């Protein structure tokens, strides 16, 4: 099987019409030998932050000497980003071998698995083949009915945060969303809730579920987090009296590091050998592209962020506040998906934008038309122009920014990342 054939097989599956539930993924995994039963997992759910927390945990565990698998979604530039061992992407050859194992099982199944279920099976097969000591596994969507929820005995279950998102699938209330995410809790397995005791409604739902399963819930303590310095280079902060530094930019990243530290403390209490040196090295090495990622530090400064819902935009605004002078305005490139609450998004960020170039990624039909996006932005007082291609939008934004001594902000969707980053790097040769 060639790589092109393997990818075509993965993308052939169609989620439309599929019923919620774990029956398909369980059958598929059974047919390929139940690789997940031979692995140890850290299982991570949450509306925001789960990718960053996963990246930080995987980096530390690798630095501690454990062979560490990392499963995340979505990918930004290469599908293989979703499946890594010690921060090395699954090779094209190994992906093909995995799909050769999975293909006969797919043909035998009456109820065809979804693309995410096939990808999850591929990841678990690969992690077992690599003899991973531990797998940091990010939930795809929700928790209870997510394909990753076949994990039976996790080392720790982490819920980073619970906010309104994907309401058409998870439900339109915080209670329903919290119940879905609490679905990853397992009997007798320790759990961690990253928002601490700040959200009593969510806390009560998680506690009830934990009591049913006889598992103990621990809480991060945001009041014990003190950020001393932050910028595009990362942040310095203290948590529970200890000083740390991370290389991830963004005002929310110390919060994510706090959750990672509490998850690591749980693992250490369970006998995993994780030194302070491993934590420091892991925090220095961890990267999470597309989340307040600097692409250029001067002439002009360019930052790209995948914020795609109101909570994400609020976090982006906080990051801008922490890393730039007060009241700094930006030249922006933006694209959004038509099913997102983009009006709330732009009402929040409008005061920070002097000029915006609206566009749409070329590789998804879900994107809002650029002209409509420009019109929406105009309703919030943003001077906006529509551009058909991402490249043209980035090119004109850079030209405008240089002429007016403004930094550039690219945001609105992770689907925008690949084309926008490629355009920026081609136009700014010094970009990383």
- The pLDDT tens digits of the residues spanning 169-190 come to 566 688 889 999 999 999 999 9
Q: Which domains does the chain have, with CATH numbers?
A: 3-285 (3.40.1190.10), 293-427 (3.90.190.20)
Cα-Cα-Cα-Cα dihedral of 310, 303, 390, 314, to 10°?
A: 10
CA distances from 33 to 37, 121, 150, 254 (A): 9, 10, 14, 40
Output Rg (C-alpha) for the chain, integer angstroms: 21
What is the model's pLDDT at position 385? Answer: 97
Summarize the confidence of residues 358-366 as an average pLDDT: 92
Q: What angle separates helix 390-404 from helix 417-427, to the nearest 10 degrees?
A: 50
86: left (phi over 0), alpha (psi -120 to 50) or beta: left
Residue with tokens 């920014």: 401
User: 200: buried, middle or exposed (CB in 10 Å: 19+, 13-18, 0-12)?
Assistant: exposed
Q: Do 43 and 148 touch, CB atoms closer than 8 A?
A: yes
Q: Considering only CA atoms, which of 118, 128, 153, 123 is closest in space to residue 138? A: 123
* Residue-wise pLDDT tens digits, 190-219: 999 999 777 788 999 999 999 999 999 999
Given a cut of 90, whether residue 356 has pLDDT beyond it is yes
pLDDT at position 338 is 94
- Residue 74 contacts residue 186 (beta carbons within 8 Å): no
**N- to C-terminal Cα distance for the chain?**
35
The whole-number average pLDDT for the span 262-290 is 97
Is the per-residue pLDDT at 431 higher than 80? no
- Please write the tens of the pLDDT for every residue from 253-275: 999 999 999 999 999 999 999 99
Q: What is the arithmetic mean of pLDDT over 235-242? A: 97
Closest CA to 183 of 354, 43, 32, 309: 43
87 pLDDT more than 80: yes
State the average pLDDT for the chain: 93
Q: Find tokens 């959750």 and name the residue.
A: 259
Say what the pLDDT of residue 171 is: 60
Closest CA to 163 of 319, 263, 309: 309
pLDDT of residue 169: 57
Given a cut of 60, whether residue 82 has pLDDT beyond it is: yes
Predicted confidence at residue 153, as pLDDT, reads 95
Query: Is the pLDDT score of 167 beyond 70?
Result: no
Name the burial class of residue 160, with classes exposed (0-12), middle (13-18) and buried (19+) by CB atoms within 10 angstroms of its CB. buried
What's phi and psi for 390, nearest 5 deg?
-65, -40
């Amino acid at each position: 099987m060639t790589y092109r054939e393997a990818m075509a097989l993965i993308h052939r599956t169609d989620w439309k019409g599929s019923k919620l539930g774990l029956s398909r993924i369980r059958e598929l995994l059974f047919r390929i030998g139940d690789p997940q039963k031979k692995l140890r997992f850290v299982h991570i759910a949450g509306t925001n932050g789960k990718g960053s927390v996963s990246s930080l945990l995987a980096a530390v565990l690798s630095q501690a000497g454990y062979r560490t698998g990392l499963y995340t979604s979505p990918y930004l530039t290469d599908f293989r980003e979703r499946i890594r061992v010690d921060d090395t992407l699954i090779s094209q050859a190994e992906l093909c071998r995995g799909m050769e194992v999975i293909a006969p099982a797919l043909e035998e199944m009456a109820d065809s698995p979804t693309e995410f279920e096939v990808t999850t099976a591929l990841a678990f097969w690969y992690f077992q083949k690599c003899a991973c000591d531990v797998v940091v596994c990010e939930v795809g969507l929700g928790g209870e009915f997510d394909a990753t929820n076949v994990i039976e005995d996790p080392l720790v279950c982490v819920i980073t945060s619970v906010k309104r998102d994907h309401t058409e699938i998870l439900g339109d209330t915080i209670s329903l969303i919290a119940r879905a995410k609490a679905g990853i809790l397992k009997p007798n397995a320790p759990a961690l809730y990253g928002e601490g005791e700040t959200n009593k409604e969510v806390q009560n739902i998680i506690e009830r579920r934990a009591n049913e399963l006889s598992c103990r819930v621990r809480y991060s303590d945001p009041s014990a987090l003190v950020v001393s310095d932050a910028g595009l280079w990362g942040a310095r902060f203290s948590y529970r009296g200890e000083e740390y530094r991370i290389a991830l930019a963004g005002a929310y990243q110390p919060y994510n590091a706090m959750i990672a530290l509490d998850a690591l403390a749980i693992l250490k209490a369970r006998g995993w050998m994780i030194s302070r040196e491993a934590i420091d090295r892991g925090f220095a090495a961890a990267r999470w592209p597309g989340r307040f990622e600097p692409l250029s530090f001067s002439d002009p400064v360019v930052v790209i962020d995948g914020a795609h819902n109101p909570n994400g935009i609020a976090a982006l605004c906080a990051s801008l506040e922490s890393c730039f002078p007060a009241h700094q305005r930006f030249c922006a490139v933006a694209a959004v998906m038509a099913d997102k609450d983009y009006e709330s998004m732009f009402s929040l960020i409008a005061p920070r934008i002097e000029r915006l170039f609206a566009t749409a990624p070329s590789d998804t039909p879900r994107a809002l038309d650029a002209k409509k996006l420009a019109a929406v932005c105009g309703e919030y007082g943003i001077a906006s122009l529509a551009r058909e291609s991402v490249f043209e939008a980035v090119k004109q934004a850079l030209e405008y920014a240089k002429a007016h001594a403004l930094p550039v902000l690219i945001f609105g969707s992770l689907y925008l990342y690949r084309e926008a980053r490629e355009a920026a790097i081609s136009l700014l040769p010094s970009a990383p």
